[in-house]
Amino acid sequence: MRKYLRFYIDGEWLEPAEQRVAEVVNPATEQVCGRVAMGSAADVDSAVAAARAAFPGWSASTVPERLDLLRNIQAEYGKRAGDLGAALTEEMGAPTALANGFQVNLAAGHLAKAVEVLEKFPFSEQRGATLVVREPIGVCGLITPWNWPMNQIAVKVFPALATGCTMVLKPSENAPFTGQIFAEILAAAGVPAGVFNLVHGDGPGVGVPLSRHPGVDLVSFTGSVRAGVEVAKNAAPTVKRVTQELGGKSPNIVLDDETFAANVATGVTSMMVNSGQTCSALSRMLVPRARMAEAVRVAREAAGQVTVGDPLGDAAVGPVVSAVQYDKIQALIQKGIDEGATLVAGGTGRPEGLTKGCYVRPTVFADVTNDMTIAREEIFGPVLTILGYDSIDDAVEIANDTEYGLAGNVAGADLEQARAVARRIRAGWVSINDAFDFGCPFGGYRKSGNGREWGEFGFDDYLETKGILGYDDAAA
């Protein structure tokens, strides 16, 4: 039983202002696995005050000093990687291979990229008689989700540190263990007091006062559209910068060529990773209508090979994060059935042989039309919808017919055609044949949010741009 009952504020582990504790439930066993202190506005005030006091010193630090700190964090992160993996399996049900692999390694990759970018980042440049200077924005409120906890902490904290900002982190109350261990890593690495602060809590208790706080200069939020709208409203009176990475209903356009069957199978299995709990998941597969029957056959076989079970075992897919999430997914699967989509694999209820735990059957629907609920709403579970298209123009129109715009993919052997289609998808992250790059800007169009994370693009939101005129000798 984990007990995390103090917050990391101003370089110390402090008791919360109020004694309020929440239980954390392991979704695989449905048993309580930990208790975490829940913060309040008073704790936010303390953390923001510490961050404000630390800002003058840290913002004046040199690039070599920041690089030294990031490299110290790399060393400490490596020491605790196993602890982070175990925590991920316990708090959100990630299978051990995924938790100790991609979940933990994503953050390590972002840290390495932050070091690489900082080594050559242009914080100032001369443009004629004007010096353009990029300075840290100030105190940052960072609010992160439960589905990829370490990734989302990493893409906020590391750019903030690298650019000279100070910060207050609020991890998800559904997955607080990794945030706690991360704070321990930063403390061991020697982060100066007040530069990084951690306050556990929920949205009303910590998220709202953090986003409203006049001492916070930027709020970076990752989560649902509903919560993102509230964050923006709460931040508006103080005119602080707000960056958001929200939901998605991303298209995967499978081209009509000799790689079709392999690409359909890949699309099914990749959708099920992390129990489908990925904001950029390619949840709408678009296939040529004339090959729908073939897609159904391939998808049924691929889904049938996805193993679901105890995350401590060798199953590919574990549970979803909570009973609330499980119930939401079940309702949407039933909605798909009710609206007339063809159920290819899976369906409602737990997978066969599992009598407890928040396990969802890997589910595939075919003959879906883009006006169906399962094609419009983000399900955030292992549920794939397959839609037919009549031409490339039709495929692009369907792909862009969404209120979201986070990600997309084009799968096919003809790279020239794939590139042309990718350019037409209205989304912030569009891959060709599932390509991956830590340096690619990540973020969305429309209701998928604003701002960009990852690589050098992740530095931008944490910086203000200043022009100093008359800077050259001739002007003087």
Residue with tokens 């939901």: 247
Query: Residues 188-201: what's their mean pLDDT?
Result: 98
pLDDT (0 to 100) of residue 474: 59
Q: Compute the distance between CA of residue 467 and CA of residue 113 in angstroms, rounded to an integer.
A: 28
| pLDDT tens string 338-356 | 999 999 999 999 999 999 9
Same domain (yes/no): 363, 456: no
User: Would you say 132 and 196 are in contact if contact means Cβ atoms under 8 Å apart?
Assistant: no
Q: Is the pLDDT of residue 137 over 70?
A: yes
List pLDDT tens digits, range 256-311.
999 999 999 999 999 999 999 999 999 999 999 999 999 999 999 999 999 999 99
Residue with tokens 């800077």: 471
Query: CA 127 to CA 402: how far, in whole Å?
Result: 41
The token pair that represents 232 in the structure block: 């923006």
Question: Would residue 226 count as lying in a domain?
Answer: yes
For residues 248 and 236, give the distance between their C-alpha atoms in angstroms, rounded to a whole number: 24
Domain count, the chain: 2
The boundaries of the domain holding residue 306 are 251-443
270 and 396 in a single domain? The answer is yes
Report the C-alpha gap between 425 and 404 in whole angstroms. Answer: 11
Residue 238 pLDDT > 90, yes or no?
A: yes
DSSP, collapsed to helix, strand or coil, labels residue 384 as: strand
Q: 147 near 274, Cβ under 8 Å?
A: yes
Do 193 and 261 sit in the same domain of this protein? no
CATH code: domain of residue 266: 3.40.309.10
* Interatomic CA distance for residues 136 and 287, integer angstroms: 46
Task: Give the model's pLDDT for residue 250.
Answer: 97
pLDDT of residue 472: 82
CA 136 to chain centre: 23
Residues 214 and 152 in one domain: yes
Do residue 432 and residue 336 come from a single domain? yes
Question: What are the φ and ψ backbone dihedral angles of 447, each rounded to 5 degrees?
Answer: -75, 5
Predicted structure pTM score = 0.94
pLDDT at 145 over 70: yes
Whether pLDDT at 200 is above 70: yes
Q: What is the mean pLDDT of residues 375-380?
A: 95
Taking the C-alpha atoms of residue 299 and residue 444, their distance in angstroms, rounded to an integer, is 28
CA distance 46 to 6: 13
Q: How far apart, in Å, are the Cα atoms of 299 and each of 268, 345, 435?
A: 6, 8, 21
Could you tell me if 16 and 144 lie in one domain? yes
CA dist list (Å): 59 to 79, 333, 394, 438: 28, 50, 51, 26
Residues 226 and 330 in one domain: no
Tokens 């982070």 belong to 84
**Which CATH number goes with the domain that contains 201?**
3.40.605.10
Residues 23-44 have pLDDT tens digits of 999 999 999 999 999 999 999 9
| In the block, residue with structure tokens 């790279």 | 415
CB 146, CB 172: distance < 8 Å:
yes
Asked if residue 473 belongs to a domain, the reply is no
In a domain, 309, yes or no: yes
Q: What percent of the chain shows pLDDT beyond 70?
A: 99
Q: Are 437 and 456 members of one domain?
A: no
pLDDT above 60 for 65: yes
Kindly provide the b/e burial profile for residues 134-157, where b requires at least 16 CB atoms within 10 angstroms of the residue's own CB: bbbbbbbbbbbbbbbbbbbbbbbb
Residue 366, beta-bridge partner list? 342
Same domain flag for 205 and 322: no
**Antiparallel, parallel or unpaired: β 139-143 and 166-170:** parallel
DSSP string, 410-435: EE-S-HHHHHHHHHHS-SSEEEETT-
Report how far apart, in Å, the C-alpha atoms of 71 and of each of 142, 158, 256, 265, 386 are.
Answer: 22, 11, 47, 40, 45
Q: Measure Cα distances from 367 to 288, 332, 409 in Å.
A: 11, 16, 20
In a domain, 476, yes or no: no
453 and 378 fall within a common domain = no
Residue 476 predicted with pLDDT over 70: no
Q: Is residue 150 part of a domain?
A: yes
Distance in Å from the first CA to the final CA of the chain? 67
The catalytic site residues sit at 245, 279
Q: CA-to-CA distance for 126 and 2, rounded, in angstroms? A: 53
In terms of domains, do 174 and 279 share one?
A: no
Do residue 418 and residue 279 come from a single domain? yes
| Residue 475, in any domain of the structure | no
What pLDDT, on a 0 to 100 scale, did the predictor assign at position 281? 95
